[in-house]
Amino acid sequence: MSLPDRKEAEVRRMLDGPHPPVPPDLALRAAASGRRLLAHRRLARRLLWLLAVAALAALLAWAAVDQPWLPPPAHTTPPLEGW
Protein backbone atom coordinates (compact mmCIF):
# COMPACT_ATOMS: atom_id res chain seq x y z
CA MET A 1 0.00 0.00 0.00
CA SER A 2 1.49 3.38 -0.98
CA LEU A 3 1.50 6.42 1.27
CA PRO A 4 -1.57 8.22 -0.21
CA ASP A 5 -3.58 4.97 -0.18
CA ARG A 6 -2.67 4.33 3.46
CA LYS A 7 -3.76 7.84 4.46
CA GLU A 8 -6.98 7.51 2.53
CA ALA A 9 -7.68 4.14 4.13
CA GLU A 10 -7.04 5.59 7.58
CA VAL A 11 -9.42 8.48 6.93
CA ARG A 12 -12.11 6.10 5.64
CA ARG A 13 -11.65 3.92 8.73
CA MET A 14 -12.05 6.96 11.01
CA LEU A 15 -15.17 8.14 9.18
CA ASP A 16 -16.77 4.69 9.19
CA GLY A 17 -16.22 4.17 12.92
CA PRO A 18 -18.36 5.43 15.78
CA HIS A 19 -18.55 9.21 15.97
CA PRO A 20 -17.79 10.90 19.29
CA PRO A 21 -20.79 12.45 21.04
CA VAL A 22 -21.25 16.17 20.53
CA PRO A 23 -21.98 18.22 23.67
CA PRO A 24 -25.53 19.58 23.60
CA ASP A 25 -24.40 23.12 24.46
CA LEU A 26 -21.70 23.27 21.77
CA ALA A 27 -23.57 25.83 19.64
CA LEU A 28 -24.22 28.06 22.65
CA ARG A 29 -20.57 27.94 23.69
CA ALA A 30 -19.43 28.69 20.13
CA ALA A 31 -21.81 31.66 19.91
CA ALA A 32 -20.61 33.01 23.27
CA SER A 33 -17.01 32.61 22.18
CA GLY A 34 -17.76 34.46 18.94
CA ARG A 35 -19.44 37.30 20.84
CA ARG A 36 -16.41 37.62 23.13
CA LEU A 37 -14.08 37.64 20.13
CA LEU A 38 -16.12 40.38 18.44
CA ALA A 39 -16.23 42.40 21.66
CA HIS A 40 -12.45 42.16 22.04
CA ARG A 41 -11.91 43.20 18.42
CA ARG A 42 -14.32 46.11 18.83
CA LEU A 43 -12.51 47.23 22.00
CA ALA A 44 -9.11 46.97 20.30
CA ARG A 45 -10.37 48.96 17.31
CA ARG A 46 -11.76 51.69 19.58
CA LEU A 47 -8.52 51.86 21.55
CA LEU A 48 -6.49 52.18 18.35
CA TRP A 49 -8.76 54.99 17.13
CA LEU A 50 -8.43 56.70 20.51
CA LEU A 51 -4.65 56.37 20.30
CA ALA A 52 -4.65 57.80 16.77
CA VAL A 53 -6.80 60.77 17.81
CA ALA A 54 -4.60 61.41 20.86
CA ALA A 55 -1.47 61.30 18.68
CA LEU A 56 -3.05 63.73 16.21
CA ALA A 57 -4.04 66.08 19.07
CA ALA A 58 -0.49 65.93 20.46
CA LEU A 59 0.96 66.67 17.02
CA LEU A 60 -1.37 69.64 16.52
CA ALA A 61 -0.60 71.00 20.01
CA TRP A 62 3.15 70.69 19.39
CA ALA A 63 2.84 72.37 16.00
CA ALA A 64 0.79 75.23 17.47
CA VAL A 65 3.33 75.84 20.23
CA ASP A 66 6.60 75.22 18.41
CA GLN A 67 5.63 76.47 14.92
CA PRO A 68 8.14 74.31 13.04
CA TRP A 69 7.36 76.03 9.72
CA LEU A 70 9.13 79.24 10.86
CA PRO A 71 12.89 79.57 10.28
CA PRO A 72 15.01 79.09 13.40
CA PRO A 73 16.15 82.26 15.17
CA ALA A 74 19.62 83.55 14.34
CA HIS A 75 22.20 82.89 17.02
CA THR A 76 24.33 85.89 16.05
CA THR A 77 23.32 89.46 15.55
CA PRO A 78 23.56 90.89 12.07
CA PRO A 79 26.42 93.31 11.44
CA LEU A 80 25.63 96.95 12.08
CA GLU A 81 26.13 99.11 9.02
CA GLY A 82 25.77 102.81 8.55
CA TRP A 83 27.54 104.10 11.69
Domain tally for the chain?
Answer: 1
Q: Which residues span the domain enclosing 32?
A: 6-66
CA distances from 44 to 58, 70, 71 (A): 21, 38, 41
Number of H helices, E strands in the chain: 2, 0
Mean pLDDT by 10 residues, the chain (83 residues): 80 86 95 98 98 98 91 79 75
Residue 82 lies in a domain: no
**pLDDT score of 2:** 63
Residue 1 lies in a domain: no
Q: Cα separation of 37 and 57, whole Å?
A: 30
Residue 54 lies in a domain: yes
Q: State the pTM of this model.
A: 0.60
**pLDDT score of 25:** 96
Residue 16 lies in a domain: yes
Residue 78 lies in a domain: no
